Amino acid sequence: TYKYDYLIVGSGLFGAVYAYMAKQKGKKCLVIDRRSHTGGNIYCENVNGINVHKYGAHIFHTNDKGIWDFVNQFVEFNRYTNSPIANFKGELFNLPFNMNTFYQLWKVKTPEEARAKIAEQVKELGLSEPQNLEEQALSMVGGDIYQKLIKGYTEKQWGRAATDLPSFIIKRLPLRFTYDNNYFNDKYQGIPIGGYNKLTEGLLEGIEVKTACDFFEDRAYWSSLAEMTVYTGKIDEFYDYRFGELNYRSLDFEHAILEIENYQGNAVVNYTEREVPYTRIIEHKHFEFGTQPTTVITKEYPSEYALGKEPYYPINDEGNTELFRKYSALAVKEEKVIFGGRLAEYRYYDMHQVIGSALKSARETIV
Ligand code: FDA
């Protein structure tokens, strides 16, 4: 007999949602996390009353009413709407690309004028078969938008010249011919009132949790506690990197507390020129319409991944995809381990997607 029905490795959204569902079905779970806190990458730290997104800015959005209702059981959401600003060499533009952006670029005022301007710029370049990301983007939006708003930002994100990046990275570049600065098209959007930790705490309420516990420090012991293990860590690490390491892009965050009330007037400002080393500055209080006397800002620097750094974005190129396939061929054969979440599945998931995936996995595997 086992002490628990489930050992859940990782208290991020996948692990926490799975644990919640298991508890609903009367199962006993133990959740462990190697970090000193729960929540995985949605964790926030309270600094002077401001919820600081420690692992990158998180904005909740979904079109799925079921998922929206699910999260609203635990926490209410505010009316935050993501509308980033781009700063290119001191010039400001609204994002995503919309009529405001086109006015700022060319002083065009109607959708017809904007479409004509873009078509003219695309035509001028005469690119028929794009060979790389630069050509791909140019063939969709023309020179001005590409040079001012895409090139530098993308090159910083990937650490490579746009001409050395494959065109498939940019499949679509949505252009919006209305004066609408809402970054997302989803029906539901917002930030949890009281912070993301409240969502995590709601999910994990009444469930045994141990932080600062690494599964790999004694995997035999942890595994012996429960009949089944739900594993949400890195899949290559689970198999001791036997086929090699999966690669990621990472980020370095530089947080600063400023003794002023309002630094940039918006939660997200992208710096789209190559010469500025960070891609964006986040001012956390604006996610919550904060009125505190001080503010916290975070500069985001894209970086190479190495063991010991946080693996943020999977790189879905051929080599990594092939390597992941080898690991997942082992994973599907495991009878006592369920793999889930962004690290075990080596894929980028938005929050609503990882919640959907955990709900599905729980429904299919909890008997
Ligand atoms: P997550 O990484 O959160 O959790 C895994 C947990 O497992 C971690 O806590 C880790 O410590 C633990 N763990 C790993 N190995 C372990 C071991 N050996 N022993 C014990 N514990 C172990 N989404 C969105 O909808 N809107 C947004 O704005 C953003 N923004 C955003 C910005 C950045 C920079 C990133 C990287 C991601 C986003 N996201 C997002 C995506 C969002 O972060 C993501 O969907 C969820 O956090 C994924 O939850 P998981 O549970 O899969 O992983």
CATH of the domain at 327: 3.40.50.720
H/E segment holding residue 67: helix 65-72
> Do 118 and 202 share a domain, yes or no?
no
- Domain assignment present for residue 233? The answer is yes
Q: Quick check: CB of 348 below 6 Å from ligand 1?
A: no
Q: Is 280 a catalytic residue?
A: yes
Q: How many domains does the chain have?
A: 2
From the CB of residue 286, how many other CB atoms can be counted at a distance below 10 Å?
A: 19
Q: Is 347 a catalytic residue?
A: no
Tokens read off for 125: 């370049």
Q: Quick check: CB of 216 below 6 Å from ligand 1?
A: yes
Over the Cα atoms of the chain, what is R_g?
A: 22
Ligand 1: centre distance to CA 185 (Å):
23
Ligand 1: centre distance to CA 161 (Å):
28
pLDDT at 367 over 90: no
Do 95 and 266 contact (CB within 8 A), yes or no? no
Q: Is 80 a catalytic residue?
A: no
Q: Quick check: CB of 356 below 6 Å from ligand 1?
A: no
Residue 249: what pLDDT? 96
- Domain assignment present for residue 270? The answer is no
> Do 130 and 163 share a domain, yes or no?
yes
For 213, the domain range is: 4-81+188-245+315-365
- CA nearest ligand 1 atom 53, residue: 12
Instruction: Specify the pTM.
Output: 0.97
- Domain assignment present for residue 263? The answer is no
Averaged pLDDT for residues 44-66 = 98
> Do 230 and 349 share a domain, yes or no?
yes
From the CB of residue 32, how many other CB atoms can be counted at a distance below 10 Å?
A: 20
Q: Is 34 a catalytic residue?
A: no
The string of pLDDT tens digits covering residues 170-213 is 888 899 999 999 999 999 999 999 999 999 999 999 999 999 99
The interface predicted TM-score (ipTM) is 0.99
Q: Quick check: CB of 33 below 6 Å from ligand 1?
A: yes
> Do 40 and 155 share a domain, yes or no?
no
The crossing angle, in degrees rounded to 10, of helices 99-106 and 111-125 is: 70
Averaged pLDDT for residues 58-63 = 98
- CA nearest ligand 1 atom 27, residue: 58
- Domain assignment present for residue 195? The answer is yes
- Domain assignment present for residue 218? The answer is yes
- Domain assignment present for residue 90? The answer is no
> Do 239 and 112 share a domain, yes or no?
no
Positive or negative, the Cα torsion across 330, 240, 3, 43?
Answer: negative
- Domain assignment present for residue 197? The answer is yes
> Do 131 and 221 share a domain, yes or no?
no
From 232, 239, 281, give the residue whose CB has the most ligand 1 atoms within 8 Å, as the site to mutate: 232
Of 169, 196, 212, the residue that ends a domain is 169
At residue 211, what is the residue type? T
**Distance (Å, whole) CA 57 – CA 266:** 13
| DSSP state for residue 353 in the 8-state scheme | H
Say which of 80, 231, 237, 280 is annotated catalytic.
Answer: 280
Q: Quick check: CB of 96 below 6 Å from ligand 1?
A: no
The string of pLDDT tens digits covering residues 130-157 is 999 999 999 999 999 999 999 999 999 9
- Domain assignment present for residue 64? The answer is yes
Residue 128: what pLDDT? 84
> Do 62 and 158 share a domain, yes or no?
no
> Do 28 and 132 share a domain, yes or no?
no
From the CB of residue 297, how many other CB atoms can be counted at a distance below 10 Å?
A: 19
pLDDT at 127 over 90: no
List the single range of 107-111, 287-291, 307-311, 339-343 with lowest mean pLDDT: 307-311
> Do 55 and 15 share a domain, yes or no?
yes
Do 50 and 285 contact (CB within 8 A), yes or no? yes
- CA nearest ligand 1 atom 6, residue: 10
Residue 1: what pLDDT? 87
> Do 198 and 163 share a domain, yes or no?
no
Phi, then psi, of 218 in degrees rounded to 5: -160, 70
> Do 339 and 240 share a domain, yes or no?
yes
> Do 223 and 321 share a domain, yes or no?
yes
From 9, 58, 61, 231, give the residue whose CB has the most ligand 1 atoms within 8 Å, as the site to mutate: 58
